[in-house]
Amino acid sequence: MFPQRVYKLYHSCWGWRIFICAWKKMPDLRRGVRQAKKANNNNNNNNNNNNTNNDNNAPVVAPTPRRGTRRGKAQAAPAGQVAPAYPYPMPRPAGRGRGARQAEDKNPELFGGGVGVGRGAHLNLDVGVCNNNNPLVVGKSAEKLAADAEDEGSTSPLPERVQVGNSPAYKLERKLGKGGFGQVYVGRRVSGGSGNSGPDALEVALKLEHRNGKGCSYGPPYEWQVYSTLNGCYGVPMVHHKGRQGDYYILVMDKLGPSLWDVWNSSNQILSEEMVACIAVEALSILEQLHLRGFVHGDVKPENFLLGQPGTPNEKKLYLVDLGLASKWRDTSSGNHVDYDQKPDVFRGTVRYASVHAHLGRTGSRRDDLESLAYTLIFLLRGKLPWQGFIGENKGFLVCRKKMATSPEILCYLCPSPFKLFLETVTNMKFDEEPNYLKLIGLFENCLVSTASLRPIRIDGALKVGQKRGRLLIDLEDDNQPRKKIRLGTPATQWISIYTSRTPMKQRYYYNVMDSRLHQHVEKGKNDGLNISCVASASNLWAIVMDAGTGFTSQVYELSPVFLHKEWIMEQWEKNYYITSLAGATNGSALVVMSKGTTYTQQSYKVSDVFPFKWINKKWKEGFSVTSMTTAGSRWGIVMSRDATYSNQVVELDFLYPSEGIHRRWENGCHSGNSPHFCLSQYPCQGEMVQEFVHSIHLLWKNCILNSPTNKLLSGGGWR
């Protein structure tokens, strides 16, 4: 038994690009013809969910066929307070305009200015649990703290005094900000203390998270682990004490100054070129040290960069806070880069500043922090990003598409050239590529015109590693060949062809076929013993692949002006035909091919205005696999079947040809001879800005074909 690889490709520029990758076993090949072994039709586990729904967007299910039965119905902070002595004016109370952060099982709100921790003397991170009955605030203060607790979805009153582990006792005072996982207050030391930072400071920031909160389902917040690992990392806050008191997990941190958002909002919503360049240099230094520790931040944005307290020596020093979405890019035990994966239903970060890869649900890596930093810098310099203003449930998709459609030249039109070069560099990085931090910092050399004492932001990180004023500029030319630019802001033209080594068989294809000539070509192929193996459409013209190796015993098809004509499909299901190929046209019509002789025992399809990944994921769990999919205009049509002989499937989702993701899947499956292979099974796209994919290819692959010298993978196939 040889494994079988099935390729189907569909495309249109700036619409979604979807790959379904699967591992499949090939039935015996005899005389070049696939002899499909029909599975016994005794799998009736789901016959009670087999009726169709009249709603076009509801899934349509074909049950395991049984004579004499009928199919049933388908189942279908406010701104933080800043000391008056600070050189920047106070933030305005309105017009914050912050983007909401979304995450898997998380929806934290944004922290206000003045929230965070600073770098103090290194102390042991003592973890304590305090269950003593601390006195609660009485009168108006008690009411206010109770109200704050209710705002966080908790009825537990906040403690008047905080003391965890070996920490001093602090009195809870004014609120600095809140997030989806907790809230931050000023804690004033009850007795003793001196200075503005460190464990002995008179005032600290206390971050409280309720034990029943989103981030505490399994004990102390995940952020605690990250802070413990990164303790002392340059530019990352250091925690002095942490522990549980009553119903709250508490971090004791240094109180910092305003965020870059507050500074921007207080400076007429625009910052100078030199200040943003200083932010770029220092932020890159901080991220480099964070990445060296094996973490990516996952939520880089103006709100998470804080300055030191006003009136202190650190008032121009930059800090990176809020590590709740941090993740590891490097495996702790092996030291290797984490494996590539994509989960389209998972988003981590803030929509406005998130990388395109984060929107698409890809595993976070160092390139994502840098892309978010690029958007942050451009926002601070220009005051706005082109994708602001989208609303509704489809906001993430619209923002992601706009990011992909906006070239660096357009996005950085009013920015100095270093910002465009920075954006181009980071958006063209590969998943596991190590950033050249020195080169990226050097891009901003000519923007730093003031002497060190006059710069609005300190760049200690760059100076610390020897990148002194006269030596920031480095050779920006690489020895490698110039890279192909990924985000051009315009639709691409590309052809893809795949050649496979296999037993010879008869095969032919037709392209640019009009509706009126479709029947003629299909009948001619049938007379020669060929069946349709794949169809596609572009510009309302059809492409058809027919061959003698399908193993189908009978075949019917319908060209209908209705996208996936339900009545006709249901009629063919009653005759034990199953959908084996389909394509949609720009005008909304569809070509559906149904065959006998497949391995399928049950089938369901869904029509949707958005890619229905949640439905696909649900059907995967029920033992179905994606066997066909297509688009027509802005609508998706997905077909899933039981007993498709795939052992696993994954989705690759992109606005461009996702070659990197495909190769990652191949590499992950080709490490050893016994490892399963992922291979392309489906590739449809949703056409919105341009015409749909011109061609479609359905071919069979043998095991380890990439390692076989007799096989070729060439470019060809195409779209406009």
* The predicted structure's pLDDT at residue 631: 85
Predicted local distance difference test score (pLDDT) of residue 502: 59
Contact call for residues 44 and 64 (beta carbons, < 8 A): yes
**C-alpha dist (Å) from residue 358 to 24, 32, 430, 466, 667:** 29, 44, 14, 33, 22
What average pLDDT does range 27-38 have in this prediction?
A: 36
In the chain, pLDDT over 70 holds for what percent of residues? 66
Among 11-25, 369-383, 465-479, 617-631, name the one with the lowest average pLDDT: 465-479
Nearest to 662 by CA among 636, 681, 685: 681
pLDDT of residue 90 exceeding 50: no
Question: What are the tens digits of pLDDT across the range 570-608?
Answer: 999 999 999 999 998 888 899 999 999 999 999 999 998
User: CA 253 to CA 306: how far, in whole Å?
Assistant: 13
**Buried-state track 590-608, b at ≥16 Cβ within 10 A, e below 16:** bbbbbbbbbbbbbbbbbbb
pLDDT of residue 155: 60
| Top mean-pLDDT range of 206-220, 608-622, 673-687 | 608-622
Least confident of 152-156, 381-385, 426-430, 669-673: 669-673
Least confident of 123-137, 460-474, 604-618: 123-137
Q: What is the mean pLDDT of residues 622-643?
A: 90
Between CA 653 and CA 179 the distance in angstroms is: 30
**Identity of residue 241:** H
Report whether pLDDT(79) > 80: no
DSSP alpha helix (H) spans, 547-638:
566-574, 613-621
**Tokens of residue 295, six digits:** 């973490």
Percent of the chain with pLDDT over 90: 35
Query: Can you point out the beta strands (E) in 261-401?
Result: 295-296, 305-307, 318-320, 327-328, 349-350
pLDDT value, residue 633: 78
Do 699 and 500 form a contact (C-beta atoms < 8 A)?
A: yes
Q: How far apart are CA 443 and CA 421, in angstroms?
A: 8
Report CA-CA distances (Å) from 298 to 39, 232, 353, 444: 47, 19, 10, 24
* Whether pLDDT at 117 is above 90: no
Q: What is the mean pLDDT of residues 509-519?
A: 91
Q: Longest C-alpha distance within the chain, in Å? A: 96
**Structure confidence at residue 295 (pLDDT):** 95
**Predicted local distance difference test score (pLDDT) of residue 659:** 73
Tell me the pLDDT tens digit for each residue of 662-716: 778 777 663 333 334 455 555 555 443 322 222 222 222 323 333 333 332 222 2
Residue 375 confidence class, pLDDT cut points 50, 70, 90: very high
Nearest to 678 by CA among 688, 668, 693: 668
For residue 461, pLDDT over 80 is answered with no
pLDDT tier at 129, thresholds 50, 70, 90: very low
Q: Answer yes or no: is pLDDT of 345 > 60.
A: yes
Task: Check residue 490 and give its pLDDT.
Answer: 59
67: which residues sit within 8 A by CB, 6+ positions away?
none
Give SS3 for 666.
helix
Whether pLDDT at 414 is above 80: yes
Asked whether the predicted pLDDT for residue 503 surpasses 60, the reply is yes
- Output the pTM of the full model: 0.73
* H-helix or E-strand spanning residue 151: helix 140-151
Report pLDDT for 451: 82
Query: What's the token pair of residue 224?
Result: 């605690």
Highest-pLDDT range among 60-74, 335-349, 445-459, 653-667: 335-349
pLDDT in tens, 239-282: 889 899 988 999 898 888 999 999 999 999 989 999 999 999 99
Tell me the backbone φ, ψ of residue 498, rounded to 5 degrees.
Answer: -130, 125
Active site residues: 299
Mean pLDDT of 635-655: 87
- pLDDT mean over 52-61: 59
The residue among 96 and 690 whose pLDDT is bigger is 96
Contact in structure between 161 and 190 (CB atoms under 8 Å): yes
pLDDT value at position 145? 56
